[in-house]
A and B are shown apart, each in its own frame.
Chain A
Amino acid sequence: MRPAVHTLHAEWIKLRSLRSTWYTLACLFAVGLGITALAANGAGRDWDTLSEADRLAWDPTEHSLTSYIVAQLVIGVLGILVVTSEFATGLMRTTLTATPRRGRVLAAKVALAAAVAVVAGEVLMFAAFLIGQPLLARQGVPSAELGDPGVLSAVVAGGLYLAAIALLAVGLGTVMRATAGALATLVGIILLVPALAGLFPSWMQGVFDYWPTIGGAAAMGTVADPDYPHPWLNLGGMCLGVAAVLAVAFVLFRRRDV
C-alpha cells in the first residue's frame, strides 16, 4: 500500500509544480463560465423567436450546461498533458527508472487526473448553473433551481461527464505518446464525429448513443428526450468505452520500450 501512496504523492507534486496545470484550469473556468454567460445573455432574443413547441421543450438547465462542449476540450488537454509532457521531455525515463512498476505509475496518473477532473468538472458545472440561471431569469426566460426535478442529477452528470473525458484524454495521451496526436484524436472524437454523425452508416448510430457530445451527454438535460429514455445508461456506456481505451493504454504502457 505504501509504495502506491508514494507514487501518487510524487505524481501530485509533479502535477502541481507545473504552471501549465494551473493555466489550463484557469482557462477551463474562463472558457466554461464565459460561454455560459454569453449564451445566457443571448437567450432573451432567442426565446422571442421560438415556436410554441420549442418553448415547451425549453430546458434552462441544459442551456447553462452547454458550455461543456468547449470545456471538455480544455479538461482533455489537462488529461493529455499528464502523460505526454513526460514523453515529450524524456522525463518518463526518469520516472520509470525510479518506479519500474509501470502499472502503478499509470494508475497513479489516472487516479490523480480523475480526482482533479471530478472536482474541477463539478465545480465548473455547478458554477455554470448558478451563474446561468439568474441571467436567464433576468431576461424573463423560464429558469430552474437546483431543487427542481432532475436538475441536481443533470448538473452532477455534467461534472462526471467532464471527468470521463479527462480520463479518455489520459488514455489517448498514453497510447499516442505525443501531445499533438492525442489532441487531434480527442478533437476528432468529441467534436468532429458528432458534427458529422449524420454521414455515418446506420449501424454506427447505435454507437453514437454512447458517444461523447451525443448520447453520452444526454444526462445533462432535464426535459425527457425520446431518443434517450435512460440518459444515465448512455453516460455509463460512454464510461465503459473510456475504460476500454484506458485498458489498451495500460497494456501498451507496460509493454513498450521507453
Chain B
Amino acid sequence: MSMIDVRGLTKRYGPHTVVDDLSFTVEAGQVTGFLGPNGAGKSTTLRMIVGLAAPDRGSVTIGGRRYAEIPVPLLEVGALLDAAAVHGSRTAYAHLHALAVSNGLPRRRVGEVLARTGLESVAGKRAGGFSLGMRQRLGIAATLLGDPKVLIFDEPVNGLDPEGIRWARDLMRSLAAEGRAVLVSSHLMSEMAQTADHLIVIGRGRLVADAAVSELTHASGEGTVLVRAAEPGDFALRLSAAGAGVREGLEGSLVVSGMSAGDIGRLAAYHGVALSELTPQRVSLEDAFMELTRDSVEYQGVAA
C-alpha cells in the first residue's frame, strides 16, 4: 500500500488555483523527489498532506488515514515544513522536549535525535543563534523524534553548506533504505538527481511528470549528437537530406538531432566523410526538468 496517497487535490486562494487536481502516491523504501519551480504549489501541497491547510477538493491519506485521524502523529509522520519555525529564544533541547512530550514520547528520544543530527554540543543553546544549516538539522531532528514510517521535508538542503548537503542526502538515502517513505521537495533538479529514486514534477499546481528518475531522463526528448567532420558544411547538407535536424555548434561542430549516432556514423561512412568526433549528448535531468516545466514557470527571465 502507498504510504501517502494524494487524490484530486485542489486548493484555491481567491481566483488563483494553486494546486490543481493533483494526484500521486509516495511509496515506502524510496526517496520521492517533489519538484517544481518556485510557486508551483509544492509547499501548499505538503501543508495539505499534514492537515495545516484544508483542500478545496480531493483528499490525502497517510497509511490509509487522514492526517487528523492519526492518534499519535509523530509516530507515523515526521514533517519539516520550515526550518525557521523555531522560537529563537528557546533552546534546541526545550524545543524538541516540548514536541516529544506533546506526543507522549520518552525524553530519551530527544537525546537520540540530537545525536543523529549532530547537535548534541549545542542542545542547550538558544535556537536564535543557530545558522540556517543548524536550524535545518534541528528541524530534521524534530521529524525523527517518533521514529516515523513517513518523512516529509520541504527544501531541506536550503542553507546547508556542501558538507551539510551531503549529510542530508546520505540521511535521506539511509532513511529510505530503512524502509521508510521519504518525500523531499526541491526546486533544484540537480540535487534531486543525486538523492531521489522517483520524481513527481509539478508546475502551476498540476502534475507534469510522475516517473522513476531513470525514466525521466530517457523520456524527455531525444538526445542530440555532437559531430565533427572535416567538411562540416557538406556533411550538414547530407544530414539534412537524410532527414536529421542540424545546427551549428561551437568551433565548427554540428549538433544533430533526430538521428542516432550509429546512423550518423553509417551515413558518414557511406559518403566517405572522415569524422573526428561523434558524441551522443545525454539529456541531463536539469534539461529534462526545464523542458517539462518551461510552460509552467511563474516568472520567466528574458535572455539578454
Contacts and interface: CB of A to CB of B under 8 A. Distances in A.
B99 A10 contact: yes
Sorting the interface of chain A by its residue count into under 10, 10 to 19, 20 to 34 or 35 or more gives 20 to 34
Contacts of A54: none
Interface string A98-135: 11110000000000000000000000000000000000
Contact of A13 (B67, B84, B97): B97
Contact of A94 (B67, B89, B142): B142
A59 interface: no
Contacts of B84: 89-90
Interface centre among B70, B77, B102 (most CB of A within 10 A): B102
Contacts of B47: 93, 257-258
Question: Interface on chain A toward B: helix, strand, loop, or mixed SS?
Answer: helix
B248 interface: no
B90 to A, nearest CB: 5
Interface string B99-140: 101111000000000000000000000000000000000000
B246 interface: no
B101 A13 contact: yes
A93 B52 contact: yes
Interface string A160-202: 0000000000000000000000000000000000000000000
Given A7-B102, A19-B89, A97-B52, A13 B94 contact: yes
Contacts of B52: 93, 96-97, 257-258
A10 B89 contact: no
A183 B161 CA distance: 40
Contacts of A95: 102
Interface in B60-83: 67-68, 70-71, 73-74, 77, 79, 81-82
B91 interface: yes
Contacts, number: 90
B68 to A, nearest CB: 4
A103 to B, nearest CB: 11
A14 interface: yes
A7 B72 CA distance: 12
A14 B85 CA distance: 14
A152 B66 CA distance: 53
Contacts of A49: none
B53 interface: yes
Contacts of B98: 10-11, 13-14, 17
A10 B86 contact: no
Interface string B149-188: 0000000000000000000000000000000000000000
A138 interface: no
Contacts of B82: 90, 93
B104 to A, nearest CB: 5
Contact of B101 (A9, A85, A90): A9
* 4 nearest A-B residue pairs (beta carbon): A90-B85, A10-B102, A17-B94, A257-B53
24 contacts: A9-B101, A10-B102, A13-B97, A14-B90, A17-B90, A17-B95, A17-B98, A86-B87, A89-B85, A89-B87, A89-B88, A90-B84, A91-B86, A92-B85, A94-B81, A94-B142, A96-B51, A98-B74, A98-B99, A100-B50, A100-B67, A100-B68, A100-B70, A257-B52
Interface of B: 47, 50-54, 67-68, 70-71, 73-74, 77, 79, 81-82, 84-91, 94-95, 97-99, 101-104, 142
Given A9-B102, A86-B87, 10 more contacts: A2-B104, A6-B103, A10-B99, A11-B98, A18-B90, A89-B86, A90-B84, A90-B85, A98-B74, A99-B102
Interface of A: 2-3, 6-7, 9-11, 13-14, 17-20, 85-86, 89-101, 257-258
